Amino acid sequence: MDITRATGSGGWGSPAPRTQPKLEPTSPDIVGPFFRDGSVVSDRLCEASEPGEKLILQGKILDQSGKPVQGAKVDVWQADRTGAYDISDPADKDNPAFPMKFRAHQVTGPDGEFAFKTIRPGHYQIGENQWRTGHIHVKVNDGQHKDLTTQLYFPEDLMTPGNATSDLNDSDHWFDPKRVVELVSNGNQWTQANYNIVLADPGK
């Protein structure tokens, strides 16, 4: 008697139902001090004339079964190429003297897709010998799945502190290699930064 066959949940002659493995939800990250409420709906985070490496941040919002999530608000913010946000003091987040820049949101349609034209953000210093590697902040919520606040990173962020060139990804406490975008040159001046975001099931 084949004991391995006798103990399956389906028993003899009826195979156990196959369940599709669930996708791992995208992990959260800190919101940081520079989030501002009230971003506009736009497919751009900055003007077309903004200096820097031109990026299209794009992907899909998926649930854990891999289905596109419709009606998800995707709110994105980032620094400019020098690592500066539109505010340098978090106390100014509601101050109209500092117009919103590098901030926008979209609401996904049935395909779950989002796409923002922007430039690659620079790293910035947060203390003596402490840096944030280049990153893009993202908040996603659809009222159904677990709300997500996270950050997306780049394959490498080289800088030269003193005389040694180093990859800031190695020294940024928050950097997570699971949240690195895929960079694809589309043959003209734009680089695609691709990343699909998976929302956790409710209650997880």
Instruction: Identify the residue among 22, 23, 28, 32 touching Fe ion (CB under 5 A).
Output: 32
Give one word for 74, left, alpha or beta, with left for phi > 0 and alpha for psi -120 to 50.
beta
Angle at 62 between CA 102 and CA 194, to 5 degrees: 50
CA–CA distance, 178 with 150 (Å, rounded to integer): 12
Catalytic residue among 105, 120, 123, 135: 135
Q: Which is nearer to Fe ion, 63 or 153 (CB)?
A: 153
CA–CA distance, 18 with 21 (Å, rounded to integer): 9
Q: Which of residues 127-146 bind Fe ion (CB under 5 A)?
A: none
Q: Which is nearer to Fe ion, 103 or 117 (CB)?
A: 103
132 catalytically annotated: yes
Half-sphere exposure of 2 (CA within 13 A, CB side): 6
The answer to whether 156 touches 135, Cβ cutoff 8 Å, is no
Q: Which is nearer to Fe ion, 69 or 102 (CB)?
A: 102
Question: Residue of minimal CB distance from Fe ion?
Answer: 32
* 83 counts as binding Fe ion under rule CB under 5 A: no
Catalytic machinery residues: 85, 124, 132, 135, 137
Kindly list the residues in this chain that would bind Fe ion in the complex (CB under 5 A): 32
